[in-house]
Structure 1
Amino acid sequence: MSKKKKATKSSVKRIPKGPYEAELERLQIELVEMQQWVAAEGARVLVIFEGRDAAGKGGAIKRVMQYLNPRFARVVALPKPSKKERGQWYFQRYIERLPTRGEIVLMDRSWYNRAGVERVMGYCSPEQYELFIRQAPVVERLLMEDGIILLKYWFSVSDEEQQVRFASRLADPMRRWKLSPTDLESIIRWEDYSRAKDAMFAATDTADSPWWTVESDDKRSARLNVISHLLSSIPYRRLEPEKVSIPDRPDSNAYERPPVEQFSYVPDIAAEVGGKAQ
């Protein structure tokens, strides 16, 4: 990586908030309709989110999941493998978390850890890496042959914008946990990760299971683009919702609520905050 002045403020031109929120709402309504079709048809959808650290994968996943029924959609974000898992076939712990009928699974990083961070950081041997590169396209072909709808997204962010996002995390107590030693190492190893990504694409960007690149310097645009593409890749149709009638509340049958004094309530901090704001 060439020596540059550290970026402290983003220079990215972003889509305005108003149009972004309006389009996001429209797409999220479609996501709910798509999920209803997945559940009704018993389809299985697996979406893999990969990319640079701080590329916006988590924010995109959050917007996809925001209004979906959590009984039929879940996020898989695995920690580093346990001792038992390290003794298994590499793909095994991921296979165990594949979608069942009527379910959508979003993988926040996936088996491609082996082609990225594990290879760059030396967490796997060259032999393990080469075996993975040979097996990954085969595994994905088997999943699709069994009927799983598989989509793979790569979130691409520039080195300048990544630097800005790392700096913002450092100043944010709610997101500082995202600055792991591995994340920070990715700055020093930017070109190593670039070469690893290129090699991964060369081996696993196939006609049946392509990588779809999401330009994510503008997070808002990235979210709209990935959700729109996801929806266009699922052969769903809108189902007419079942008619729901909310019943009238019956008249009280002489029920008397027990005195509030006999229950324990959380302190009303909100009242204090509201009072200070007036």
Structure 2
Amino acid sequence: MAFRTRFAPSPTGPLHLGHAYSAIVAHDMARSQNGAFLLRMEDTDLQRCKPEWDAQIIDDLTWLGLRWDEPVLRQSEQLTAYDPALKKLAARDLLYPCSCSRADIRAALAAPQEGVAHEVYPGTCKHRPMSDRKPGDALRIHLERALDLLSDRDVVFRETGPRYEGTHHIDPKQALDEIGDIVLSRKGEEIVAYFLASALDDVAQGITHVVRGEDLFEFTQIQVILLALLDMPIPTYHHHGLIRDENGKRLAKRDDARAISKFRAEGATPADIRVMIGL
């Protein structure tokens, strides 16, 4: 199968040096394999994602010399595409409605961030059946039931990144202890969780290699579990190292001082950016 990968930012702020590193690594891997490089906007959070950031991302990536081989996929333009997967999980009694703190649920829908603790859901709404779902309720996966359904399978994924290279087996106890019943969607706000939307789009776009930062490695197992439950192919993962500041902290979108657009305004060239990020 031909090598296919993607860069999938959320347009909630400017691209910084860490984004440039991830995008260039994915792009260069695809080109070295005579494969395809795609751009996907993970913009299901309609409140935080803005058109101006979408445009800025495309402008910055183009300036860096990156080219994608298919039209940009925007998750916000295909929100209903995720419904069949949710319905399939619900039909297998693997989802339940949750009416806990809206702020907590919104935070749970986003991609995890390094240094931000993931609190395993205590199961407050776990007793509720889907028939009890009310407007505004989120949907959580009943992870224990899901893992029971997969108990007769050795669910594995392959990793090629430098830190975690090898074949990894899903450990049910670890998944229950460290991830728990994560939110997959929220009704009424049209937000689909990063974990689900990203995994489904990887399959839909034929992605063979998911290239992204190592801060997302621990959460790869929930995406692998979801794909296994849905009988979908599991891609190979490549989690690369992170670009950090002088204190060793991972760059975030709030680090405007390291935004690509600011370096551009100061006269930097694409070659300068590659040197700054060690490429």
Is the shorter-chain TM-score for this pair beyond 0.5, marking a shared fold? no
More strand, by proportion: 2
Q: Provide the TM-score with structure 2 as the length reference.
A: 0.27
* Structure in which a larger fraction of residues adopt helix: 1
Q: Which has the higher contact order (CA 8 A, sep 6+)?
A: 1
